[in-house]
Structure 1
Amino acid sequence: MRLITNTALLAVAGSALAQDFSKDGNYGAPFPNTTYPGFESNNPYAIAGSLSNQTSPPKYPSPWGEGRGDWATAYTKARAFVRQLTLEEKVNLTTGTGWELDRCVGQTGSIPRLAFRALCLQDSPVGVRDTDFNSVFPAGVNVAATWDSGAAYARGQAMGSEHKGKGVDMQLGPVAGPLGRTAAGGRNWEGFSSDPVLTGVMFAESIKGIQSAGVMTSAKHFIGYEQEHFRLVGDAANYGFDIAASNSANLDDITMHEMYLWPFADGVRAGATSVMCSYNQVNNSHACQNSYVMNYLLKGELGFQGFVVSDWLGTNSGVASVLAGLDMTMPGDSNVYDSGDSYFGANLTVAVLNGTVPAWRLDDMAIRIMAGFYFVETNVTRGPINFSSWTLDTYNYEHYYVGEGWTQVNDHVNVRSDHANLIRSIGARSTVLLKNVNNTLPLTGNEPLTAVFGNDAGPNSDGPNSCSDRGCDEGTLGMAWGSGSSNFPYLVTPDTAIQNTVLAAGGAYESSLDNNALDTMGALARRANVSIFFANSDSGEFYIEVDGNLGDRNNLTFWQGADEALAAVTGNCSNTILVVHSTGPVLLEQYASNPNITAILWAGVPGQESGNSIADVLYGRVNPGAKLPFTIGANRSDYGTDILYTPNGAVPQIDFREGVFIDYRTFDRHNETPTYEFGFGMSYTTFNYSDLRITKLNVSDYVPYSGYTSPAPTYGNFSSDPADHLFPANFTRVPDYQYPWLNTTNLTEASKDPHYAAPGSIPLNAQNGSAQPYPKAGGAPGGNPMLYDVLYRVRATITNTGPLAGEEVPQLYISRGGPYDPVRELRGFERLSIQPNGSTTFNVDVTRRDVSSWDPVAQDWYVRNTTKRVWVGSSSRRLLLEGVLP
């Protein structure tokens, strides 16, 4: 094992911004790199704070956890456990053992002396990755489309129980970053919505659900991770791009707080046990060694009590990252997988021995990790890991990459329970009805001839799991690609489910599933009484290229040649229903206005029960009540932001000059008419809104948090003699495995750490363990507790005026009234089930945070003295009731 050098503390700024342009798929339309001209924020702070090559301010020391809020019991147990540990055992908790060297995608070292097996960290946010007999759940974007916090919790609980059943300790999810700054973002589907409030609610409920099953969460990706292109140097090099470092998300303090940090505050308040830092840089400092975002924002302002884990290969240094707030590195390797080197491991042992990392900082890392464990678990002893991420064979190598330890690695435990019912229900309840001319839907099933069309209606002929990490677009889109995927136990296609429904009702059924068979499609469409066409648009992670798309989508149009095939159908059938499976917005303007398309549904990325879910909606077994979690624009340029497809320097610079104006905020600000607005969705019944009531509560004025932490505690002593930290005698090493012990007693030679020779290069206060002041916006998990005081209660009456029982999602929007604020912003919602002629009350509590603005000078929240208008409606543009907050 070779010990390696810790890298410099701060990232070097990138080179000057170039004027590069990219193209939209095959259509040749030029688009600026990240923001269209004229779409810059009108806030001077946002413009000044989103410049290429700007720097991130240093914030030290890294706050030590204190067991605040609901964490007291977990911290008591964690302290008792860590007091027993040696220096090496503490290091083992923080360091992954290496890629493909243990069973899970990430695995820490173990502590055999205390019967503590390794922590198993496993993808994904839609189900247990890389195993069998697991479920595939609807994507996060579908959960957001339900606008139902209960669905988010139930899905989280079911996913958590499946991870638990496989022996997983931490599920790598849920996702609030990317938030969805760009409509073409490759991993938007893993997250929830382009709105921070909707995302925050679904994020928090997912965390609660997963952790209720006794599994830790890794809330990710923190922060500014809004595109796939140029996230890692190695990935970029594989595609022929020559960059020196990961892209830098350049954004101002207001935008950070009012948009991208908002859902993470909800996640921390919900008890997230860990947060995963992201690949990108933030203001030209790597997110996983950025002291401002980890030390100040996350652990300081948000009062995060859990631990920060790197994304895989997201660690760029040892001492620098540790002092900046990183608590665990994954998968343990340094710059490349299976390198045999680690920035942590033995290097962290050296750093503590030579004093560059103070002992209290390592103790805090170990305490935070164990507090996260005890927050959801009661016993150190737990079930074994019963699967291998690297093979589905029953027998294989325990240390797969190096071929050592032949044993049974897969027990093939079936953890699916009855989750198929929940998956089917969420798939149906997340299907958004966008168009329904003359009550085309629901269908009866006994139409004389039903015809189904499109590649997206059928199977992948090689099987649903034939493409690694779902890295292809063959057949129906049940799941997108990347590390956020999992193996299907089965995939019910729309072709199968609709055929079953039609045949059971006595109808006739035919399908044509080849988008290249235009003549065949046209001939069948001429005979059909109803044609149902399926089209998709896929995306995923940057390490996989699909049809020329490097994670991020090249366009917002249909894939698989669906446009031409759809034209062949609509040209021959005046009763065509379009069903869209997509990871985000698709341009639908031409189809919304096509008279031969009588209904349109957006079904997202629905998971294993895809066909059954859409059939339930098409045939009225489920009355659609979903709403769009993003805007569907008429033109790509209407969104105002885009992917940086071509590097604009050695360190690609992504300037968030639009500030808080993304998605519907942009459309509202520029008075652009979308095809279908954010929050829009129809039903098979109708609803009336009435009787808006606003009640002001008597609440104390906001007080900035004040006070000091206790001094940094340390737990246990260790020998300062390097000879006491050498590899144990007669110890058998696994090649390339990460261990905490040293090869030599010469620390300078062992580490080659420049900070050992030049301790003055350590940032000011980074080693300071004295009592520290709390941020004014801090004080508890989620931030200053007074931010969550309820200032107003908003009520309205919703009546079902139609013939069917249905579900409606009333939405509350507020204007904060500032000169640089959006026209209106979502601040509350509720999914209501209402019987015909029945009424129910829509209830939203408006908190201080909901009406506050961020002051970048005072570094705190404040309520601006302006008129604050309130709207309640069925979408961001259908605002049926209006009032003013008194």
Structure 2
Amino acid sequence: MASTAPLALLFAVFVLAGGRFPTAVGSRPPFACDPRDARTRSFPFCSPSLPVTQRVRDLLGRLTLAEKVQLLVNNAAPVPRLGIARYEWWSEALHGVSNVGPGTRFGGAVPGATSFPQVILTAASFNASLWYEIGRVVSTEARAMYNAGSAGLTYWSPNVNVFRDPRWGRGQETPGEDPAVAGKYAAQYVRGLQDVPFGKDASRLKVAACCKHYTAYDLDNWRGNDRFHFNAKVSKQDLEDTYQVPFKACVVEGRAASVMCSYNQVNGVPTCADPALLKGTVRGMWGLNGYIVSDCDSLAVLYNFQHYTSNPEDAVAATLRAGLDLDCGPFLAQHAEDAVRKGKVGEKEIDAALVHTMTVQMRLGMFDGDPSAQPLGHLGPADVCTPANQELALEAARQGIVLLKNQGNVLPLSPARLRTVAVIGPNSDATVTMIGNYAGVPCRYTSPLQGITRYVKTSHNAGCRNVKCAETELFGRAATVARHTDATILVMGLDQTIEAEARDRESLLLPGHQTDLVLQVARTSRGPVILVLMSGGPVDLSFAKKEPKVAGILWAGYPGQAGGAAIADVIFGASNPGGKLPMTWYPQEYVTKVPMTSMSMRATGGYPGRTYRFYQGEQVYPFGYGLSYTTFTQALAEAPTMVSVPLDGKRNCGSNGTANCQAVRVTHARCDGLFLNVHVDVKNTGTRDGSHVLMVYSTPPAGHQAPIKQLVAFERVHLQASAQQQVRFAIDVCKDLSIVDGMGIQRLPMGPHVLQIGDLRHLVSLQAGGDL
């Protein structure tokens, strides 16, 4: 999902679908356009040599209205007379093929699939090529499972919502708080899933990806406010420069085959019934080549919970006319025929929706006959959980782990100098916790305890029965273990009982008595103490940051099936950490000042703002923070000091016809080929090989309600000790240096822009040129 809909609604989906569960694993279900089927052999829609538009038109013309409406829902009904089997649209692949959603089943020949780190940790790698490669591997396993009869080809992933508030239970699913980073992740992961290299033809799809949840969706259940009733009040400015950014990149750059509209309303209109958002923006301005699907039971939610329309038929009309094509849930199948009969909506709107869904199915090859005879037909169970895929999951976890503290360079630990290490904490032997939510069945698990034991002899004590850590009776034993070992590794943090879909946090502190356990163990430990934190959202670790007995801190997110091995590799130096935080870590006081229901990004009065772009307040750890076992220097090799921005020659800079060029509308500039070339020399000045993330920030001239700073480019580079490399950035002037004004209009401020790369500062002046 999508999302986990209310249980009653999900049960209704099951019942109204006739109580059908998908075909058992390993038995190849019937497929459309079987060449052995005399009924369909000559149908044009079964001919791959014909244009997709012609094939879709032929298929649509053969359907009755009753058949059409049964294809408007996720569990699309079969059309036996045309040789079309039932199809389940709902599958998930957030960070590996998932068993959330009825479209995918594990068992038999495919007992599991590779489970990569939860997205928030993968984002911390700031490695765009890694994001693409993970998507490509996931789609290979997904297509292999489809060929084996255990999965579909339409995956409602990724989640590209901005991680606006640290309490959001689903922040773990996102690429973090920066809209540009989220957009870059979206484009790369979607291209990988659909297996469409940049610059290549996207008419054929390996699987179909989906950008969700559109839009301004980032509250699940907080103090009586839930996603099914929430009205996100968003300014035009915040909508354009924050909430919409990742979705635009997902559709325009990633060429996603689908977009999912969310449960919530935006400024009083349910997103699934908003023609300005769906038809106007997603399909119109961004040119979506695909279908728009509702989050699961969103139509029932907007009718039954939000009371947006007075009858079901009006709800059908409102959503179809807005641009919705597919309903995750039974609502359209139940009410669309009545809506047509009562004149609420025309059959042409239903046809328009089916054109979009059928076109995607055609692009997937679902009407090209036997899947085994198609170009990807060779993929099967042997291509799932391969050693290479599992190694990529391990490498992704290594690249994402963030080193937050390394007092006295105590890390990495040397196994040769340690006889026994204490491994303590409620997540110390975690397995399921490591894969987060929207996960499937992993190929295997390596827990932190197992990973550490591969390096040294261990003595284990959980300290708490679970992450809620409600009791303290096990603390004494844990402290004793730490007192009699050479080093202590505490693996603490959160899990899905604390942060999850439909579960937002109240506090940023460690749950229960976890802080007490850390301090008691640290102060009695004989050797150095390393704190490892598993979590999706940020945690206020001020106490550990200040505590001298806690020598090292690692954030490991939810690191996936190989998480324990990756944690151990970093602790013992087989891997040098290079991850950077993709979200700001706030102090606990932040949540006392900022309600989750406030969607405003900018600081005003006593409101401190949100994310590094606008937040004005104390931080535990800033966005982009992360240490290494080596050191790097960076020097500016080349960058212009002035850029002339040519105007289109048709308009003056100012709205009143004068040459007021303080902030030019981007649409009034000639932006094609207008790039800022910045070359940076980066050198590994330490004694260990390592990876460094170069981050280029921009601060525009003052006075434009602009972000404090904005990440405009990043690149992860791996350097051997003493090696040097030049990294070249081509910064899109109109896209990356522009701001959004109070009316939601994208403008390019003239004057000095400050580029920041680590400690480097460089001024670039933009000047309006050309015709005035």
Alignment of 1:224-243 (within 5 A): 224-229=216-221
The match for 1:452 among 399, 403, 423 is: 423
Does residue 219 of the first structure (1) align with residue 200 of the second (2)? no
Q: Following the alignment from structure 1 to structure 2, what is the Cα–Cα distance between the partners of residues 500 and 784?
A: 61
Q: Following the alignment from structure 2 to structure 1, what is the Cα–Cα distance between the partners of residues 259 and 569?
A: 37
Alpha-carbon RMSD: 3.3
Q: Following the alignment from structure 2 to structure 1, what is the Cα–Cα distance between the partners of residues 672 and 534?
A: 37
Pick closer, same or farther for the CA change 1:497–1:346 going to 2, 3 Å: closer
The match for 2:627 among 682, 689, 706 is: 682
Instruction: Give the secondary-structure state (helix, strand or coil) at the position aligned to 2:192.
Output: helix
Deviations along 1:248-278, one digit per CA (max 9) or x if unpaired, are 1110111001001001011001111011111
Alignment of 1:663-678 (within 5 A): 671-678=616-623
Does residue 141 of the first structure (1) align with residue 130 of the second (2)? no
**2:398 counterpart residue number:** 428
Pick closer, same or farther for the CA change 1:459–1:433 going to 2, 3 Å: closer
CA contact (8 A) 1:694 1:793 kept: yes
Does residue 109 of the first structure (1) align with residue 88 of the second (2)? no
Q: Following the alignment from structure 1 to structure 2, what is the Cα–Cα distance between the partners of residues 114 and 260?
A: 43
**1:587 counterpart residue number:** 540
Pick closer, same or farther for the CA change 1:583–1:669 going to 2, 3 Å: closer
Paired residue type of 2:275: S
Deviations along 1:578-609, one digit per CA (max 9) or x if unpaired, are 10100110001111111111111100011111
Paired residue type of 1:625: G
Pick closer, same or farther for the CA change 1:125–1:357 going to 2, 3 Å: same
**1:479 counterpart residue number:** 435
CA contact (8 A) 1:692 1:883 kept: no
Shift of 1:512: 1.3
Does residue 838 of the first structure (1) align with residue 723 of the second (2)? yes
CA contact (8 A) 2:221 2:502 kept: yes
**1:627 counterpart residue number:** 580
Paired residue type of 1:302: W
TM-score, length-scaled by structure 2: 0.77
Pick closer, same or farther for the CA change 1:194–1:459 going to 2, 3 Å: closer
CA contact (8 A) 1:451 1:524 kept: yes
Q: Following the alignment from structure 1 to structure 2, what is the Cα–Cα distance between the partners of residues 438 and 664?
A: 35
Paired residue type of 2:574: R
Q: Following the alignment from structure 2 to structure 1, what is the Cα–Cα distance between the partners of residues 448 and 491?
A: 8
CA contact (8 A) 2:676 2:730 kept: yes
**1:437 counterpart residue number:** 407
Instruction: Give the secondary-structure state (helix, strand or coil) at the position aligned to 1:564.
Output: helix
CA contact (8 A) 1:699 1:789 kept: no
The match for 2:513 among 547, 561, 565 is: 561
CA contact (8 A) 1:631 1:663 kept: no
Pick closer, same or farther for the CA change 1:697–1:242 going to 2, 3 Å: closer
Deviations along 1:364-400, one digit per CA (max 9) or x if unpaired, are 211211233344447543549xxxxxxxxxxxxxxxx
**1:602 counterpart residue number:** 555
Alignment of 1:125-136 (within 5 A): 125-130=94-99, 131-132=105-106, 133-136=112-115
Q: Following the alignment from structure 2 to structure 1, what is the Cα–Cα distance between the partners of residues 226 and 567?
A: 44
Does residue 799 of the first structure (1) align with residue 683 of the second (2)? yes
Alignment of 1:65-104 (within 5 A): 75=53, 78-79=56-57, 81-96=59-74
Shift of 1:885: 4.3
Alignment of 1:708-723 (within 5 A): none
Q: Following the alignment from structure 2 to structure 1, what is the Cα–Cα distance between the partners of residues 214 and 649?
A: 28
Pick closer, same or farther for the CA change 1:536–1:677 going to 2, 3 Å: same
Paired residue type of 2:738: S
Shift of 1:704: 11
Q: Following the alignment from structure 2 to structure 1, what is the Cα–Cα distance between the partners of residues 79 and 644?
A: 53
CA contact (8 A) 1:687 1:808 kept: yes
**1:193 counterpart residue number:** 176
**1:511 counterpart residue number:** 460
The match for 1:882 among 759, 762, 768 is: 762
Deviations along 1:265-322, one digit per CA (max 9) or x if unpaired, are 1100111101111111111211211223222222222222321101111113211111
Pick closer, same or farther for the CA change 1:659–1:356 going to 2, 3 Å: farther
The 10-residue stretch of structure 1 (784-793 or 215-224) with the greater mean CA deviation from structure 2? 784-793
**1:272 counterpart residue number:** 256
CA contact (8 A) 1:207 1:267 kept: yes
Paired residue type of 1:854: V
**1:614 counterpart residue number:** 567
Pick closer, same or farther for the CA change 1:704–1:297 going to 2, 3 Å: farther
**1:250 counterpart residue number:** 233
Q: Following the alignment from structure 1 to structure 2, what is the Cα–Cα distance between the partners of residues 856 and 81?
A: 47
Shift of 1:687: 0.3
Shift of 1:431: 0.3
Q: Following the alignment from structure 1 to structure 2, what is the Cα–Cα distance between the partners of residues 166 and 560?
A: 42
The match for 1:552 among 504, 509, 514 is: 504
Paired residue type of 1:816: P
Instruction: Give the secondary-structure state (helix, strand or coil) at the position aligned to 2:323.
Output: coil
Pick closer, same or farther for the CA change 1:486–1:559 going to 2, 3 Å: farther
Q: % of aligned pairs identical?
A: 24
**2:448 counterpart residue number:** 494
Q: Following the alignment from structure 2 to structure 1, what is the Cα–Cα distance between the partners of residues 343 and 126?
A: 51
CA contact (8 A) 2:402 2:626 kept: yes
CA contact (8 A) 1:138 1:423 kept: yes
**2:133 counterpart residue number:** 154
- Give the count of matched residue pairs: 642
Pick closer, same or farther for the CA change 1:697–1:549 going to 2, 3 Å: closer
Instruction: Give the secondary-structure state (helix, strand or coil) at the position aligned to 1:433.
Output: strand
Alignment of 1:769-784 (within 5 A): none
Unaligned runs of 5+ in 2: 1-49, 100-104, 107-111, 147-151, 196-204, 303-314, 373-379, 465-471, 652-664, 767-772
Pick closer, same or farther for the CA change 1:243–1:271 going to 2, 3 Å: closer
Paired residue type of 1:166: M
The 10-residue stretch of structure 1 (350-359 or 606-615) with the greater mean CA deviation from structure 2? 350-359
Shift of 1:572: 1.0
Q: Following the alignment from structure 2 to structure 1, what is the Cα–Cα distance between the partners of residues 460 and 228?
A: 49
Paired residue type of 2:142: H
Pick closer, same or farther for the CA change 1:666–1:173 going to 2, 3 Å: closer
CA contact (8 A) 1:127 1:136 kept: yes
Pick closer, same or farther for the CA change 1:615–1:73 going to 2, 3 Å: farther
Shift of 1:181: 1.3
Q: Following the alignment from structure 1 to structure 2, what is the Cα–Cα distance between the partners of residues 621 and 478?
A: 20
Q: Following the alignment from structure 2 to structure 1, what is the Cα–Cα distance between the partners of residues 458 and 500?
A: 35
Unaligned runs of 5+ in 1: 1-71, 97-106, 231-235, 333-341, 385-410, 465-476, 503-507, 540-544, 644-653, 706-776, 874-878
Instruction: Give the secondary-structure state (helix, strand or coil) at the position aligned to 2:480.
Output: helix
Shift of 1:355: 4.2
TM-score, length-scaled by structure 1: 0.67
Does residue 184 of the first structure (1) align with residue 163 of the second (2)? no
The 10-residue stretch of structure 1 (321-330 or 110-119) with the greater mean CA deviation from structure 2? 110-119
